[in-house]
Homo-oligomer: A and B are copies of this chain.
Protein backbone atom coordinates (compact mmCIF):
# COMPACT_ATOMS: atom_id res chain seq x y z
CA UNK A 1 0.00 0.00 0.00
CA UNK A 2 1.56 3.25 -1.09
CA UNK A 3 1.08 6.44 0.84
CA UNK A 4 -0.86 9.37 -0.58
CA UNK A 5 1.88 11.85 0.32
CA UNK A 6 3.70 14.06 -2.16
CA UNK A 7 7.21 13.07 -3.14
CA UNK A 8 9.55 16.03 -3.37
CA UNK A 9 13.32 15.60 -3.84
CA UNK A 10 15.54 16.61 -0.92
CA UNK A 11 17.95 19.02 -2.60
CA UNK A 12 20.43 21.80 -1.99
CA UNK A 13 18.28 23.81 -4.39
CA UNK A 14 15.50 23.82 -1.84
CA UNK A 15 17.92 24.97 0.87
CA UNK A 16 18.94 27.82 -1.43
CA UNK A 17 15.45 28.99 -2.44
CA UNK A 18 14.12 28.67 1.12
CA UNK A 19 17.04 30.43 2.81
CA UNK A 20 17.07 33.38 0.41
CA UNK A 21 13.33 34.07 0.84
CA UNK A 22 12.12 33.12 4.32
CA UNK A 23 15.51 33.98 5.82
CA UNK A 24 16.51 36.67 3.34
CA UNK A 25 17.56 39.06 6.12
CA UNK A 26 20.03 36.68 7.75
CA UNK A 27 23.65 37.49 7.07
CA UNK A 28 27.05 36.12 6.24
CA UNK A 29 29.69 38.35 7.82
CA UNK A 30 33.22 37.90 6.47
CA UNK A 31 36.24 39.19 8.38
CA UNK A 32 38.44 41.42 6.22
CA UNK A 33 41.14 42.67 8.57
CA UNK A 34 39.63 46.14 8.06
CA UNK A 35 37.76 47.98 10.83
CA UNK A 36 34.44 46.88 9.35
CA UNK A 37 33.81 43.31 8.22
CA UNK A 38 31.96 42.57 5.00
CA UNK A 39 28.26 41.75 5.33
CA UNK A 40 25.96 40.13 2.82
CA UNK A 41 22.34 39.05 3.33
CA UNK A 42 21.04 35.59 2.46
CA UNK A 43 18.76 37.27 -0.10
CA UNK A 44 21.76 38.81 -1.82
CA UNK A 45 23.75 35.59 -1.61
CA UNK A 46 20.84 33.80 -3.24
CA UNK A 47 20.70 36.32 -6.09
CA UNK A 48 24.46 36.12 -6.56
CA UNK A 49 24.29 32.30 -6.56
CA UNK A 50 21.96 32.62 -9.54
CA UNK A 51 24.40 34.96 -11.23
CA UNK A 52 27.23 32.55 -10.54
CA UNK A 53 25.27 29.64 -12.01
CA UNK A 54 24.53 31.70 -15.14
CA UNK A 55 28.22 32.59 -15.45
CA UNK A 56 29.34 28.99 -15.03
CA UNK A 57 26.81 27.65 -17.51
CA UNK A 58 26.54 30.44 -20.09
CA UNK A 59 30.09 31.79 -20.04
CA UNK A 60 32.31 28.91 -18.91
CA UNK A 61 30.21 26.10 -20.38
CA UNK A 62 29.81 24.02 -17.23
CA UNK A 63 27.35 21.32 -18.15
CA UNK A 64 25.68 18.29 -16.59
CA UNK A 65 27.47 16.97 -13.54
CA UNK A 66 30.87 18.49 -14.27
CA UNK A 67 33.06 19.29 -11.29
CA UNK A 68 33.69 22.86 -10.18
CA UNK A 69 36.46 23.08 -7.58
CA UNK A 70 37.03 25.70 -4.90
CA UNK A 71 40.36 26.62 -3.33
CA UNK A 72 39.04 29.18 -0.90
CA UNK A 73 38.86 30.37 2.70
CA UNK A 74 35.58 30.61 4.57
CA UNK A 75 33.77 33.62 3.13
CA UNK A 76 30.50 34.63 1.53
CA UNK A 77 31.67 33.90 -2.03
CA UNK A 78 32.48 30.38 -0.94
CA UNK A 79 28.93 30.09 0.45
CA UNK A 80 27.62 31.24 -2.93
CA UNK A 81 29.59 28.44 -4.58
CA UNK A 82 28.22 25.94 -2.03
CA UNK A 83 24.68 26.82 -3.10
CA UNK A 84 24.99 27.57 -6.82
CA UNK A 85 27.11 24.65 -8.00
CA UNK A 86 25.01 21.76 -6.60
CA UNK A 87 21.74 23.55 -7.42
CA UNK A 88 22.64 23.82 -11.11
CA UNK A 89 23.30 20.06 -11.14
CA UNK A 90 27.10 20.34 -11.14
CA UNK A 91 29.36 18.99 -8.40
CA UNK A 92 31.12 21.22 -5.86
CA UNK A 93 34.64 19.96 -5.20
CA UNK A 94 36.30 21.64 -2.21
CA UNK A 95 40.11 21.53 -2.31
CA UNK A 96 42.08 21.35 0.93
CA UNK A 97 44.64 24.16 0.77
CA UNK A 98 46.79 22.44 3.41
CA UNK A 99 47.51 19.39 1.26
CA UNK A 100 50.95 18.80 -0.25
CA UNK A 101 51.12 20.01 -3.88
CA UNK A 102 51.47 16.46 -5.20
CA UNK A 103 48.19 15.40 -3.58
CA UNK A 104 46.37 18.49 -4.84
CA UNK A 105 47.46 17.71 -8.39
CA UNK A 106 46.43 14.07 -8.03
CA UNK A 107 43.02 15.03 -6.64
CA UNK A 108 42.15 17.67 -9.26
CA UNK A 109 43.09 15.26 -12.03
CA UNK A 110 41.16 12.39 -10.46
CA UNK A 111 38.05 14.51 -10.02
CA UNK A 112 38.49 15.93 -13.52
CA UNK A 113 37.73 19.47 -12.33
CA UNK A 114 36.76 21.82 -15.14
CA UNK A 115 36.81 25.11 -13.23
CA UNK A 116 38.65 26.25 -10.10
CA UNK A 117 37.28 29.11 -7.98
CA UNK A 118 40.21 30.47 -6.01
CA UNK A 119 40.85 33.25 -3.52
CA UNK A 120 43.48 35.76 -4.63
CA UNK A 121 45.60 35.10 -1.55
CA UNK A 122 45.90 31.43 -2.55
CA UNK A 123 47.18 32.01 -6.09
CA UNK A 124 50.81 31.36 -5.06
CA UNK A 125 49.64 27.86 -4.16
CA UNK A 126 47.58 27.19 -7.28
CA UNK A 127 49.47 28.94 -10.07
CA UNK A 128 52.60 26.74 -10.06
CA UNK A 129 50.43 23.62 -10.39
CA UNK A 130 48.17 24.73 -13.24
CA UNK A 131 50.35 23.36 -16.04
CA UNK A 132 49.84 19.92 -14.49
CA UNK A 133 46.04 20.24 -14.34
CA UNK A 134 44.92 19.64 -17.92
CA UNK A 135 41.19 19.32 -17.12
CA UNK A 136 41.03 22.84 -15.66
CA UNK A 137 39.76 25.16 -18.41
CA UNK A 138 38.93 28.18 -16.27
CA UNK A 139 40.24 29.86 -13.13
CA UNK A 140 37.94 32.34 -11.34
CA UNK A 141 39.62 34.60 -8.79
CA UNK A 142 37.92 36.43 -5.91
CA UNK A 143 39.13 38.48 -2.98
CA UNK A 144 42.39 40.34 -2.38
CA UNK A 145 45.79 39.08 -3.54
CA UNK A 146 48.31 39.67 -6.28
CA UNK A 147 47.10 38.22 -9.59
CA UNK A 148 50.51 38.31 -11.25
CA UNK A 149 51.26 34.71 -10.33
CA UNK A 150 48.83 33.72 -13.07
CA UNK A 151 50.63 35.62 -15.83
CA UNK A 152 51.41 33.28 -18.65
CA UNK A 153 50.74 30.02 -16.79
CA UNK A 154 47.01 29.85 -16.59
CA UNK A 155 44.08 28.68 -18.65
CA UNK A 156 41.40 31.33 -19.06
CA UNK A 157 41.34 33.58 -16.00
CA UNK A 158 38.27 35.49 -14.77
CA UNK A 159 37.60 37.93 -11.97
CA UNK A 160 34.68 36.58 -9.93
CA UNK A 161 32.91 39.92 -9.56
CA UNK A 162 33.30 40.82 -13.23
CA UNK A 163 32.18 37.37 -14.28
CA UNK A 164 28.90 37.43 -12.40
CA UNK A 165 28.10 41.14 -12.74
CA UNK A 166 24.92 41.97 -14.66
CA UNK A 167 23.74 38.39 -15.04
CA UNK A 168 20.14 37.44 -14.14
CA UNK A 169 19.43 37.23 -10.41
CA UNK A 170 17.15 34.25 -10.85
CA UNK A 171 17.82 30.89 -12.43
CA UNK A 172 15.54 28.12 -13.65
CA UNK A 173 17.09 25.54 -11.31
CA UNK A 174 16.62 22.05 -12.73
CA UNK A 175 14.53 19.47 -10.83
CA UNK A 176 17.20 17.09 -9.55
CA UNK A 177 17.17 13.54 -8.30
CA UNK A 178 17.95 13.58 -4.58
CA UNK A 179 20.49 10.78 -5.03
CA UNK A 180 22.49 12.79 -7.54
CA UNK A 181 26.00 13.97 -6.63
CA UNK A 182 26.08 17.44 -5.06
CA UNK A 183 29.57 17.82 -3.61
CA UNK A 184 32.79 15.91 -3.13
CA UNK A 185 35.68 15.92 -0.74
CA UNK A 186 38.84 13.79 -0.69
CA UNK A 187 40.25 12.27 2.48
CA UNK A 188 43.82 13.32 3.01
CA UNK A 189 44.99 9.73 2.75
CA UNK A 190 47.96 9.08 5.05
CA UNK A 191 48.41 5.77 3.21
CA UNK A 192 47.72 5.22 -0.46
CA UNK A 193 46.01 7.65 -2.80
CA UNK A 194 43.47 10.18 -1.50
CA UNK A 195 39.92 8.84 -1.65
CA UNK A 196 36.93 10.85 -2.84
CA UNK A 197 33.63 10.93 -0.96
CA UNK A 198 30.72 12.10 -3.13
CA UNK A 199 27.86 13.61 -1.13
CA UNK A 200 24.34 13.49 -2.55
CA UNK A 201 21.64 16.15 -2.35
CA UNK A 202 19.78 13.72 -0.09
CA UNK A 203 22.73 13.26 2.26
CA UNK A 204 23.39 16.99 2.54
CA UNK A 205 19.72 17.81 3.11
CA UNK A 206 19.22 15.18 5.82
CA UNK A 207 22.52 16.09 7.47
CA UNK A 208 21.47 19.74 7.49
CA UNK A 209 18.22 18.85 9.25
CA UNK A 210 20.16 16.84 11.84
CA UNK A 211 22.61 19.68 12.51
CA UNK A 212 19.60 21.92 13.18
CA UNK A 213 17.90 19.48 15.52
CA UNK A 214 17.88 20.64 19.13
CA UNK A 215 19.84 17.54 20.22
CA UNK A 216 22.68 18.45 17.82
CA UNK A 217 23.78 22.06 17.24
CA UNK A 218 20.19 23.27 17.36
CA UNK A 219 20.65 26.80 16.04
CA UNK A 220 18.03 29.23 14.70
CA UNK A 221 17.98 32.62 12.99
CA UNK A 222 18.51 34.17 16.43
CA UNK A 223 22.01 32.64 16.42
CA UNK A 224 25.30 33.50 14.77
CA UNK A 225 27.84 30.75 14.28
CA UNK A 226 31.54 31.40 13.90
CA UNK A 227 32.59 28.86 11.29
CA UNK A 228 36.31 28.36 11.95
CA UNK A 229 36.38 24.81 10.61
CA UNK A 230 37.35 25.29 6.97
CA UNK A 231 34.85 24.96 4.16
CA UNK A 232 37.35 22.60 2.51
CA UNK A 233 37.17 20.30 5.54
CA UNK A 234 34.04 18.07 5.25
CA UNK A 235 31.94 21.01 4.06
CA UNK A 236 32.77 22.99 7.23
CA UNK A 237 30.99 20.24 9.16
CA UNK A 238 27.89 20.89 7.07
CA UNK A 239 27.32 24.35 8.53
CA UNK A 240 26.94 26.48 5.39
CA UNK A 241 24.09 24.31 4.13
CA UNK A 242 22.55 23.72 7.56
CA UNK A 243 22.58 27.41 8.46
CA UNK A 244 21.13 28.51 5.14
CA UNK A 245 18.26 26.05 5.74
CA UNK A 246 17.17 27.81 8.94
CA UNK A 247 18.58 31.33 8.63
CA UNK A 248 21.43 31.01 11.12
CA UNK A 249 23.84 33.92 10.62
CA UNK A 250 27.41 32.96 9.70
CA UNK A 251 30.58 34.69 10.84
CA UNK A 252 33.38 33.74 8.47
CA UNK A 253 37.06 34.33 9.37
CA UNK A 254 38.37 34.17 5.78
CA UNK A 255 42.18 33.87 6.10
CA UNK A 256 42.28 35.38 9.61
CA UNK A 257 42.60 32.13 11.53
CA UNK A 258 45.19 33.30 14.05
CA UNK A 259 44.17 33.57 17.72
CA UNK A 260 44.31 37.39 17.83
CA UNK A 261 41.87 38.15 14.99
CA UNK A 262 39.61 35.28 16.13
CA UNK A 263 39.43 36.80 19.61
CA UNK A 264 38.75 40.22 18.08
CA UNK A 265 35.95 39.00 15.85
CA UNK A 266 34.28 37.11 18.72
CA UNK A 267 34.35 40.19 20.94
CA UNK A 268 33.07 42.46 18.18
CA UNK A 269 30.49 40.27 16.44
CA UNK A 270 29.36 38.24 19.48
CA UNK A 271 28.61 34.87 17.84
CA UNK A 272 26.43 32.54 19.92
CA UNK A 273 28.12 29.37 18.64
CA UNK A 274 31.37 28.30 17.02
CA UNK A 275 32.85 25.21 15.43
CA UNK A 276 36.55 24.37 15.32
CA UNK A 277 39.22 21.77 16.14
CA UNK A 278 40.93 21.68 19.58
CA UNK A 279 44.14 23.42 18.46
CA UNK A 280 42.13 26.54 17.58
CA UNK A 281 40.63 26.60 21.08
CA UNK A 282 44.05 26.04 22.66
CA UNK A 283 45.48 28.99 20.76
CA UNK A 284 42.50 31.21 21.54
CA UNK A 285 42.73 30.38 25.24
CA UNK A 286 46.39 31.43 25.34
CA UNK A 287 45.49 34.61 23.46
CA UNK A 288 42.69 35.72 25.81
CA UNK A 289 44.77 34.74 28.84
CA UNK A 290 47.49 37.11 27.64
CA UNK A 291 45.08 39.81 26.46
CA UNK A 292 41.53 39.37 27.80
CA UNK A 293 38.56 39.53 25.42
CA UNK A 294 34.93 38.81 26.09
CA UNK A 295 34.06 35.39 24.65
CA UNK A 296 30.90 34.94 26.70
CA UNK A 297 28.49 35.38 23.79
CA UNK A 298 29.33 31.82 22.70
CA UNK A 299 26.82 29.79 24.67
CA UNK A 300 27.95 26.60 22.98
CA UNK A 301 30.89 25.49 20.91
CA UNK A 302 31.18 22.35 18.83
CA UNK A 303 34.64 20.84 18.99
CA UNK A 304 35.79 17.93 16.88
CA UNK A 305 38.43 16.64 14.49
CA UNK A 306 40.47 15.34 17.43
CA UNK A 307 39.77 14.48 21.07
CA UNK A 308 39.48 17.58 23.25
CA UNK A 309 41.66 17.55 26.40
CA UNK A 310 39.39 17.71 29.48
CA UNK A 311 41.56 20.52 30.85
CA UNK A 312 40.61 22.63 27.84
CA UNK A 313 36.92 22.05 28.51
CA UNK A 314 37.40 23.09 32.12
CA UNK A 315 39.27 26.24 31.15
CA UNK A 316 36.45 27.30 28.82
CA UNK A 317 33.78 26.39 31.39
CA UNK A 318 35.36 29.09 33.54
CA UNK A 319 34.98 31.59 30.67
CA UNK A 320 31.29 30.72 30.38
CA UNK A 321 31.83 28.87 27.10
CA UNK A 322 30.69 25.26 26.93
CA UNK A 323 32.70 23.03 24.59
CA UNK A 324 30.74 20.07 23.24
CA UNK A 325 32.57 17.13 21.71
CA UNK A 326 31.53 15.87 18.31
CA UNK A 327 32.93 12.92 16.40
CA UNK A 328 32.91 12.43 12.66
CA UNK A 329 35.03 12.09 9.55
CA UNK A 330 34.95 12.99 5.86
CA UNK A 331 33.05 9.76 5.26
CA UNK A 332 30.31 10.73 7.74
CA UNK A 333 29.46 14.26 6.43
CA UNK A 334 30.68 14.52 9.33
CA UNK A 335 28.09 14.49 12.12
CA UNK A 336 28.47 11.08 13.79
CA UNK A 337 28.03 11.81 17.50
CA UNK A 338 27.69 14.75 19.89
CA UNK A 339 28.39 14.56 23.60
CA UNK A 340 25.35 16.18 25.16
CA UNK A 341 24.90 14.49 28.54
CA UNK A 342 21.58 12.84 29.37
CA UNK A 343 18.96 14.62 31.48
CA UNK A 344 18.76 15.02 35.23
CA UNK A 345 22.46 15.09 36.14
CA UNK A 346 24.53 17.46 38.25
CA UNK A 347 27.51 19.19 36.66
CA UNK A 348 29.78 16.67 38.30
CA UNK A 349 27.73 13.74 37.02
CA UNK A 350 27.70 15.25 33.53
CA UNK A 351 31.45 15.30 33.31
CA UNK A 352 32.05 11.60 32.42
CA UNK A 353 29.56 12.03 29.56
CA UNK A 354 31.07 15.27 28.30
CA UNK A 355 34.48 13.69 27.76
CA UNK A 356 33.05 10.86 25.64
CA UNK A 357 32.64 11.27 21.89
CA UNK A 358 28.89 11.40 22.53
CA UNK A 359 25.68 9.80 21.33
CA UNK A 360 24.50 8.87 17.85
CA UNK A 361 21.43 10.52 16.36
CA UNK A 362 18.71 8.38 14.75
CA UNK A 363 20.32 8.96 11.35
CA UNK A 364 23.51 7.11 12.34
CA UNK A 365 23.31 3.41 13.20
CA UNK A 366 26.36 2.07 15.01
CA UNK A 367 27.84 -1.30 15.87
CA UNK A 368 31.13 -2.51 17.34
CA UNK A 369 32.93 -5.33 15.62
CA UNK A 370 35.50 -7.40 17.45
CA UNK A 371 38.80 -8.83 16.20
CA UNK A 372 37.06 -11.96 14.89
CA UNK A 373 34.34 -10.04 13.08
CA UNK A 374 31.82 -10.69 15.88
CA UNK A 375 29.32 -8.08 17.02
CA UNK A 376 30.10 -6.74 20.49
CA UNK A 377 27.67 -5.59 23.19
CA UNK A 378 27.19 -1.98 24.29
CA UNK A 379 28.47 -2.52 27.81
CA UNK A 380 31.10 0.19 28.13
CA UNK A 381 33.83 -2.47 28.23
CA UNK A 382 33.89 -4.49 25.01
CA UNK A 383 36.22 -2.69 22.61
CA UNK A 384 35.72 -3.08 18.89
CA UNK A 385 35.98 -1.22 15.63
CA UNK A 386 33.15 1.25 15.17
CA UNK A 387 31.05 0.62 12.07
CA UNK A 388 28.28 3.01 11.02
CA UNK A 389 25.35 3.10 8.63
CA UNK A 390 23.13 5.94 7.49
CA UNK A 391 22.12 8.29 4.74
CA UNK A 392 24.99 10.71 5.31
CA UNK A 393 27.59 7.93 5.63
CA UNK A 394 29.75 6.94 2.66
CA UNK A 395 29.19 3.48 1.17
CA UNK A 396 32.07 3.71 -1.31
CA UNK A 397 34.79 5.99 -2.70
CA UNK A 398 34.68 7.72 -6.05
CA UNK A 399 36.41 5.62 -8.70
CA UNK A 400 37.08 8.46 -11.12
CA UNK A 401 35.30 9.26 -14.37
CA UNK A 402 36.13 5.90 -15.93
CA UNK A 403 36.24 3.69 -12.88
CA UNK A 404 33.83 1.76 -10.76
CA UNK A 405 33.38 3.12 -7.25
CA UNK A 406 35.89 1.69 -4.79
CA UNK A 407 34.82 -0.45 -1.84
CA UNK A 408 38.05 -1.56 -0.15
CA UNK A 409 37.48 -4.41 2.31
CA UNK A 410 39.16 -2.60 5.17
CA UNK A 411 36.79 0.35 4.71
CA UNK A 412 33.39 -1.20 4.02
CA UNK A 413 31.77 -4.32 5.43
CA UNK A 414 30.15 -6.89 3.21
CA UNK A 415 26.71 -5.57 4.16
CA UNK A 416 27.70 -2.02 3.26
CA UNK A 417 28.53 -0.39 6.60
CA UNK A 418 31.46 2.01 6.86
CA UNK A 419 34.37 0.66 8.90
CA UNK A 420 35.55 3.83 10.60
CA UNK A 421 39.01 2.59 11.58
CA UNK A 422 38.26 3.88 15.08
CA UNK A 423 38.29 1.49 18.03
CA UNK A 424 36.31 2.12 21.18
CA UNK A 425 33.51 1.13 23.50
CA UNK A 426 29.84 2.12 23.69
CA UNK A 427 27.99 2.39 26.97
CA UNK A 428 24.55 0.88 27.57
CA UNK A 429 23.01 4.32 27.08
CA UNK A 430 24.76 4.76 23.75
CA UNK A 431 27.77 6.97 24.53
CA UNK A 432 30.83 6.28 22.40
CA UNK A 433 34.35 6.44 23.81
CA UNK A 434 37.12 6.02 21.26
CA UNK A 435 40.44 4.66 22.41
CA UNK A 436 42.55 3.86 19.35
CA UNK A 437 42.80 3.92 15.65
CA UNK A 438 42.26 0.34 14.49
CA UNK A 439 45.74 0.28 12.95
CA UNK A 440 47.28 1.08 16.37
CA UNK A 441 45.37 -1.53 18.36
CA UNK A 442 47.17 -4.72 19.40
CA UNK A 443 45.41 -7.88 18.23
CA UNK A 444 46.52 -10.43 20.80
CA UNK A 445 44.90 -13.87 20.53
CA UNK A 446 41.20 -13.21 20.03
CA UNK A 447 41.38 -9.98 22.03
CA UNK A 448 42.24 -6.37 21.43
CA UNK A 449 44.58 -4.40 23.60
CA UNK A 450 44.38 -0.60 23.52
CA UNK A 451 47.78 0.94 22.82
CA UNK A 452 46.54 4.30 24.11
CA UNK A 453 45.30 2.69 27.32
CA UNK A 454 48.71 1.17 28.00
CA UNK A 455 50.49 4.43 27.16
CA UNK A 456 48.37 6.43 29.59
CA UNK A 457 48.89 3.83 32.32
CA UNK A 458 52.67 3.80 31.85
CA UNK A 459 52.89 7.59 31.67
CA UNK A 460 51.18 7.76 35.07
CA UNK A 461 54.47 6.51 36.58
CA UNK A 462 56.33 9.45 38.13
CA UNK A 463 59.61 8.52 36.41
CA UNK A 464 58.14 8.38 32.90
CA UNK A 465 58.24 11.33 30.52
CA UNK A 466 56.65 9.65 27.50
CA UNK A 467 55.55 6.19 26.46
CA UNK A 468 54.48 4.80 23.09
CA UNK A 469 53.07 1.31 22.69
CA UNK A 470 52.95 -0.49 19.33
CA UNK A 471 51.95 -3.93 18.15
CA UNK A 472 54.78 -6.26 17.17
CA UNK A 473 54.45 -9.74 15.66
CA UNK A 474 54.31 -12.64 18.08
CA UNK A 475 54.39 -16.32 17.12
CA UNK A 476 51.97 -17.47 19.77
CA UNK A 477 49.51 -14.55 20.05
CA UNK A 478 49.69 -13.00 16.60
CA UNK A 479 50.57 -9.60 18.05
CA UNK A 480 51.82 -8.39 21.42
CA UNK A 481 52.52 -4.89 22.77
CA UNK A 482 56.00 -3.36 22.74
CA UNK A 483 56.43 -0.57 25.31
CA UNK A 484 58.77 2.25 24.25
CA UNK A 485 59.55 4.47 27.23
CA UNK A 486 61.30 7.81 27.70
CA UNK A 487 62.38 8.41 31.31
CA UNK A 488 62.51 11.78 32.96
CA UNK A 489 65.96 13.23 33.54
CA UNK A 490 67.69 11.53 36.46
CA UNK A 491 64.94 8.90 36.82
CA UNK A 492 66.02 5.44 37.85
CA UNK A 493 63.02 3.14 37.26
CA UNK A 494 63.94 -0.13 35.58
CA UNK A 495 61.79 -2.41 33.42
CA UNK A 496 60.69 -4.61 36.30
CA UNK A 497 59.57 -1.59 38.31
CA UNK A 498 57.62 -0.21 35.37
CA UNK A 499 55.95 -3.54 34.74
CA UNK A 500 55.02 -3.93 38.41
CA UNK A 501 53.57 -0.43 38.39
CA UNK A 502 51.58 -1.16 35.24
CA UNK A 503 50.23 -4.42 36.69
CA UNK A 504 48.34 -2.37 39.27
CA UNK A 505 46.02 -0.88 36.68
CA UNK A 506 46.04 -3.26 33.71
CA UNK A 507 44.84 -6.86 33.26
CA UNK A 508 47.67 -9.36 33.38
CA UNK A 509 47.22 -10.68 29.85
CA UNK A 510 47.59 -7.12 28.52
CA UNK A 511 51.00 -6.49 30.17
CA UNK A 512 53.79 -6.01 27.61
CA UNK A 513 56.61 -8.59 27.63
CA UNK A 514 58.80 -6.40 25.42
CA UNK A 515 60.21 -3.12 26.75
CA UNK A 516 62.69 -0.58 25.50
CA UNK A 517 63.91 2.64 27.06
CA UNK A 518 64.77 5.23 24.43
CA UNK A 519 66.00 8.81 24.52
CA UNK A 520 62.97 10.07 22.54
CA UNK A 521 59.81 8.76 20.86
CA UNK A 522 59.79 9.43 17.11
CA UNK A 523 57.08 11.97 16.17
CA UNK A 524 55.19 12.98 13.06
CA UNK A 525 55.29 16.51 11.70
CA UNK A 526 52.18 17.39 13.74
CA UNK A 527 53.67 16.02 16.95
CA UNK A 528 51.90 12.68 17.21
CA UNK A 529 53.82 9.50 18.07
CA UNK A 530 55.03 8.04 14.78
CA UNK A 531 54.22 4.40 15.37
CA UNK A 532 55.11 3.42 11.83
CA UNK A 533 58.72 4.41 12.56
CA UNK A 534 58.79 2.49 15.86
CA UNK A 535 57.44 -0.64 14.18
CA UNK A 536 60.07 -0.35 11.42
CA UNK A 537 62.87 0.21 13.97
CA UNK A 538 61.74 -2.91 15.81
CA UNK A 539 61.54 -4.97 12.63
CA UNK A 540 64.98 -3.79 11.57
CA UNK A 541 66.46 -4.72 14.95
CA UNK A 542 67.39 -1.11 15.72
CA UNK A 543 65.83 -1.12 19.19
CA UNK A 544 67.44 -2.57 22.32
CA UNK A 545 64.51 -4.64 23.58
CA UNK A 546 64.34 -6.34 26.96
CA UNK A 547 62.03 -9.35 27.33
CA UNK A 548 60.40 -9.75 30.75
Contact = CB atoms under 8 A, between A and B. Distances in A.
Interface in A200-235: 200, 202-203, 206, 209-210, 212-215, 218-222
A341 B246 CA distance: 13
A38 to B, nearest CB: 20
B391 A4 contact: no
Interface residues of A, number: 72
A506 B246 CA distance: 37
Interface in A1-42: 1-8, 10, 14-15, 18-19, 21-25
A146 interface: no
Given A15-B362, A221-B215, A429-B22, A5 B395 contact: yes
A392 B4 contact: no
B182 A3 contact: yes
Given A214-B213, A362-B18, A4 B397 contact: yes
Nearest to A10: B391
A524 to B, nearest CB: 29
Interface stretch (A147-155, A191-199, A467-475, A488-496): A191-199
Contact of A429 (B2, B10, B24, B203): B24
A405 interface: yes
Given A209-B209, A215-B221, A429-B22, A5 B393 contact: yes
B6 A393 contact: yes
Contacts of A10: 391
Interface in A135-159: none
B179 A391 contact: no
Contacts of A1: 65, 91, 180-181, 198
Given A1-B65, A219-B214, A246-B215, A391 B6 contact: yes
Nearest to A343: B222
A61 interface: no
B395 A180 contact: no
A420 to B, nearest CB: 13
A538 to B, nearest CB: 37
Contact of A220 (B14, B180, B340, B398): B340
Contacts of A22: 359-360, 429-430
A391 B8 contact: yes
A361 B392 CA distance: 21
Nearest to A412: B6
Count chain B CB atoms within 10 A of each CB in A210, A215, A222, A395 and give the residue with the most. A215
Contacts of A210: 209
A310 interface: no
Which of A247, A340, A343, A392 has the most B CB atoms < 10 Å from its CB? A343
Contacts of A390: 6, 8
Nearest to A90: B1
Given A2-B179, A246-B213, A342 B7 contact: no
A116 to B, nearest CB: 18
B220 A4 contact: no
Contacts of A179: 2-3, 7
A110 B209 CA distance: 36
A453 interface: no
A115 interface: no
B391 A198 contact: no
Interface string A232-251: 00000000000001110000
A343 B248 CA distance: 10
A389 B360 CA distance: 31
Contacts of A215: 212, 220-221, 246-247
B5 A394 contact: yes
A179 B8 CA distance: 12
A300 to B, nearest CB: 11
B6 A416 contact: yes
Contact of A181 (B3, B181, B219): B3
A396 interface: yes
Interface of A: 1-8, 10, 14-15, 18-19, 21-25, 65, 91, 179-182, 196-200, 202-203, 206, 209-210, 212-215, 218-222, 245-247, 340, 342-344, 359-362, 365, 378, 389-398, 405, 416, 418, 428-430
7 contacts: A1-B180, A2-B180, A5-B197, A18-B360, A206-B209, A222-B344, A246-B362
Given A18-B360, A22-B429, 14 more contacts: A2-B200, A3-B182, A3-B200, A4-B397, A4-B405, A6-B393, A18-B365, A22-B359, A23-B430, A24-B428, A24-B429, A213-B218, A214-B246, A220-B343
